[in-house]
Amino acid sequence: MNMNDWENQKLVGINKMDGHTVYPPFDDKDDAITGERSASPYFKLLNGAWKFEYFTGPDTLPEDFFEEDFDCSEWDDIVVPSNWQMKGYGNPHYTNINYPIPVNPPFVPSENPTGCYIREFEIDESWQDRRIMLKFDGVDSFMYVWINGQLAGMSKGSRNPAEFDITDIAQVGLNRITVQVLQWSDGTYLEDQDMWWLSGIFRDVSVMALPEVDLFDIFAKPLLDKKYKNGILELEIEVRNWMEKDVRDLVVEAELFDKCGRSVFKKPLSAKTSVKEAKSAKVRLEAEVRDVMKWSAETPDLYTLLLTLKNSYGVIEYKSLRIGFRTMELKNGNFLVNGVPVMLRGVNRHEFQTDLGRAVTYDSIMEDILQMKRHNINAIRTCHYPDSEMFYEICDRYGLYVMCEADLESHGFGYEEGKNPSMWPEWERACVDRMQRMVEAFKNHASIIFWSLGNEAGYGINHKKMYAWTKKRDNTRLVHYERDQMAETADVVSTMYSAPEFIVDTIIPERCKPSKKPYLLCEYAHAMGNGPGGLEDYWQTFYAHKEIQGGFVWEWCDHGIRTQDEDGCEYFAYGGDFGDTPNDGNFIADGLVFPDKSASPGLVELKKVIAPVRVTAKNLKKGIVNVANHYDFITLEHLNVVWSVSENGTVIQSGTIAPLKIKARSNEDVVIPFVMPENPKPGAEYFLNISFLLGMDTLWARCGHEIAWGQLALPVKAAAKKPSVSRSRAVVEMDEDENFLYIAADETFFEFDRHSGTIANWMIDGLPLLEAGPKLNIFRATTDNDRSGAGMAAKWKAAYYHQLTHSVRDVAFDPATATVRVITRVAPPVLQWGIECEYVYRFLPDGSYTLELSGKPVGEGMPPFPRLGFQLALPEAMDNVQWFGLGPGESYVDTREAQRVGLYKAGVDSLSTEYTYPQENGNRSEVRRAAFYDLHMAGFAVTGLDGMLFNFSAHRFTPEAIEAAKHPHEIEEGENICLNLDWKQQGIGSSSCGPYLPEKYQIPAEPFRFGMKFRGFRPNELNDISFFKMI
């Protein structure tokens, strides 16, 4: 039986050129120096509108569709590059590990969606007598291509370039290109990369005309000498002769220009060569560059290398590329860039755009890179395949370290010995070819410091072959592979999602020290939904151990696809929303930015945690702080330092100090010239705030952009705040009937429901302030981290925390002390445990009241509480909030580093975070006091008793409504504002794919006691001064 080409893993291509670097040729030297491909007369993009037809399988195509006279006029138009599912052909399908087809390698279903593309293009007469190269930068997952009815070739390996020599079948003038793309092939088994299964021609298509003698491959090695001072440029150039005769008297010249366009060499480097017919010759050049500008993510200085090929008649062609001088080596248990053990503040990045899928544009890439740079990210792992060429060019220029990963993942086979294609010798070529093509294509990019052998494909003989080939071909970089658990061949020890304590107790002593290799977390802090939590714990661990050199957060972007429901309501779809089964649901929505690329609270938190400057208190009474410079190469002189002192969130002093000359990887004491408040206001809090701002414009941010900040509580001994004094001699009046208690004081009126044990009505001067509550609440809408196998959601559900009922046992009041006591039992159905509660209300003459709640869990098997606090229902008009505490963004006990203590105001709707999958959100923590009010500024204020800090969240829907919805637009809004005032709320963690939430961020089910004070206020009674006095 004949094998189909797409079901033969030993066949990786037909007529496909060997991997090499591709640079357009130029006739003009000035154009060549720009490197802009569109300036070359010998380069042409074939992107644009193509004719397209979608078929259910390769056996359903018209027999003559590839003939040059085939009539495709009735076919649809499709934009290339694109994924056909994003254009309405078939549906996107998401799986994480499982294959969406029967697992029977190398065979795939005969029901194999197939797209056929046709377009025509012109070849100019100036291309006559040149070699015509056709290049596809990315096609998923299998392709045939025909030119003028003649087969040009075949390719697999979706995310590696494929190039074909079409000289003998192309013609000057009009040409027709036909491409057949299959969704499934044997290559599919190596492309199981936790992303949407999307098909088609999704990267650039181009043609290029090369001279008959060409600088076919260029390997530039811009290194440093042993002292990391001078540059050493090593060039290895392959000159290819396409002619059927020997070529003699060729000269290859190399010129180097710095970033200002100045020539570095007094005269070009030069070498003579000859090339036999239809062969290649290697040319090597070498030079020293004194006091070279070194490339790093902090100083991405690039040089322009111009190569010229000449013969006795003159210039044959120019080619140019950008290069950066740097070294990457393993020494003394660390990997060093330019001799320094750098710290990688990285993220994993899939290529994705919500409206385009994986057919990303220049603007889309730039949007990602700018966001990363502005959030202190310095490294990217290209999960889990090589990216498009322009991505690496941008990283070179803007300064990001790159771990370039092979297009290889076979997670669905598992890791058991002998069960994965990486372990099968007959799949060696399929695996090694992917590595070779990646390395050859991108080997000249300064940003790439690691090659990676792929992801989650077990560890087998084929990985060892990939590693051996890579190290032989490129000795200037290190090689990574996480599943090589003991770093048998990999140059670094790498794991995923290991907890900080496990890293310290197990990985470092058992893997790093024996191998004398450093450690990286290639994936950590799974950023799915609300999270990740615990970033500060990781980075404290990183800084404490020299073996650890950072990691890559999983991942950059939620892969939600923008779509609409039947009513035209827009939302971001995830697995299952297109009828795709099997699927892994919203596990694809796990990024630091939302599908529209707006920053999540997790990205804001990451920016603060990984900031290259940290400030700690040394002796604040003398104005001394310690400033740590966590840059690897540069001082802090490029940052302006701005400081202020705040009193209850209001600035009372401010100033600047001269930029600091603190050297990289060191710290110094610094004096901030503020004056300690001599007459502090009673009860006021004072903070020293220090910001580090860019002192100049850069490629990625304007002058004034904040890089880092610190906030330190000043040791000011302020007198305790005096109790508020009533404006009148009002007294508390209490009355009762069978159903209610009635309390009145200072134009404030309460109705207390004896049956529910809660306040049924609270009014001030006739204005309603409350519709229900306060009452104990321990339930929160579960987060993605809660719902994972390592999360708490299953335990909470088994304990029926979502179905608690409140049984009132007794309501007693004492008019003499204006006190109401309520005894309740809060308990679930089915189970026998409960919480015995006592509420104590004390009503005060000024119309305020305090509420203390004590509770005692009784019974066994109660898991930690999700939250512990009061829930209230407010009139829907009371949708404004003012608070003094952490802000302005949401925060939790393990995600609060990026928030500052301050005085904030916001509308209720702006307090929410719209995660792709609805979940707990919008919490504000470490709150000292808060006020909730309507348009007329009538409402109430609340503070914790005995200096208690609290949390609050306010939504137009309940936690139960969030829990019931699968998309944000499905959340059913209520008729009031649901306000949660929490003493505690459980942390967030990263258990969606990571370790258990540490106990220090949990709320154990044990006896508790907390309290708050409430006071209503009239229209216009609230202002920034009265806010701190009225309660």
**Residues designated as active site:** 456, 523
Rounded to 5°, the CA angle 146-149-151 comes to: 40
Longest dimension (CA), the chain: 114
DSSP per-residue codes, 20-34: ------BSSHHHHHH
Return the structure tokens found at 302: 């690039």
Q: How far apart are alpha carbons 471 and 468 in whole angstroms?
A: 5
Unique residue bearing structure tokens 């890791």: 415
160 with 552: CB under 8 angstroms? no
Mode of pairing for the β-strands spanning 334-337 and 767-770: unpaired
The enclosing H or E element of 604 equals helix 601-609
CB 886 within 8 A of CB 929: no
Q: What one-character-per-residue DSSP string does 361-427 give? A: -HHHHHHHHHHHHHTT--EEE-TTS---HHHHHHHHHHT-EEEEE-S-B-GGG-SSTT-SGGG-GGG
CA dist 187 and 189 (Å) reads: 5
- Residues 567, 286: Cα–Cα separation, whole Å: 66
Residues 794 and 305: their CA atoms lie apart, in Å, by: 59
Q: How far is CA 382 from the centre of its chain?
A: 12
> Would you say 427 and 462 are in contact if contact means Cβ atoms under 8 Å apart?
yes
Instruction: Return all residues near 169 (Cβ < 8 A) that are at least 6 apart.
Output: 147, 148, 150, 152
Contacts of 509 (CB under 8 A, 6+ apart): none
Please say whether the beta carbons of 600 and 636 come within 8 A: no
> If you count them, how many residues does the chain have?
1031
Distances from the Cα of 530 to the Cα of 35, 170, 726, 916, 953, angstroms: 43, 55, 43, 10, 14
**Residue 868 to residue 854: CA distance in whole angstroms:** 11
Measured distance CA(206)–CA(221) in Å, rounded:
27
SS3 879: coil
CA 17, distance to chain mean position in Å, is 35
The answer to whether the peptide bond before residue 829 is cis (omega within 30 degrees of 0) is no
Do residues 892 and 925 touch, judged by C-beta distance below 8 A?
yes
Handedness of CA 838, 843, 844, 847 (dihedral sign): positive
Question: What is the pairing mode between strands 900-907 and 880-887?
Answer: antiparallel
Distance, CA of 234 to CA of 252 (rounded, Å) = 14
The continuous run of DSSP H or E covering 329 comes out as: strand 328-331
Burial (Cβ within 10 Å: 0-12, 13-18, ≥19) of residue 404: buried
Q: What number of CA atoms fall less than 13 Å from residue 699's CA on the CB side?
A: 18
Please name which of 422, 414, 380, 381 lies closest in space to residue 399, comparing C-alpha atoms: 380
DSSP characters for 816-833?
TTTEEEEEEEEE-SSS--
For residue 684, which phi and psi values (nearest 5 degrees)? -80, 155
Beta-strand ranges (E) seen in 556-606 are 561-564, 570-573
Question: By C-alpha distance, which of 384, 376, 394, 321 is closest to 348?
Answer: 384
Which two structure tokens, joined as six digits, stand for 426? 């007959």
